[in-house]
Amino acid sequence: MTDYTETQELILASAKKHFLNYGFKSASLRKIVSDAGFALGAFYEHYKAKEDLFCTLLDKTVQGLSSILIASPITRYLGESSNAISAS
């Protein structure tokens, strides 16, 4: 039996695949949930609508990109450059 977080992650992984392959409008909520291995009721325990699922996926993507940018050498370089400029 899967726990709450694992169910949510499995639905998100399936949604990512479907949104990338079919686009938001054509991605079927029933197919997303079915491919994740759940019934539609499990979806509604985690999300209110397909839009909510998409926004959650988008938020996770932006957070991942932000952490990559923060850790990148160019960001550190730009940060050092802006500190040098503001110190002068």
Which CATH architecture describes the domain 4-87? Orthogonal Bundle (1.10)
- Any idea where the domains of the chain sit in the sequence? 4-87
Q: In residues, how long is the chain?
A: 88
Is pLDDT above 70 for 35? yes
Q: Which two tokens stand for residue 17?
A: 């695949």
Which residue has better confidence, 70 or 7?
A: 7
pLDDT in tens, 45-79: 999 999 999 999 999 999 988 888 777 777 666 66
Is the entire prediction scored with pTM above 0.85?
A: no
Query: Sorting pLDDT into bands at 50, 70 and 90, what band is 81?
Result: low
DSSP assignment letter at 37: T
What integer pLDDT is reported at residue 79 of this predicted model?
64
Do the beta carbons of residue 12 and residue 53 sit within 8 Å? Answer: yes
Query: Sorting pLDDT into bands at 50, 70 and 90, what band is 1?
Result: low
Burial environment of residue 10 by CB neighbours within 10 A (0 to 12, 13 to 18, 19 or more) = middle
The Cα 60–Cα 87 span in angstroms is 36
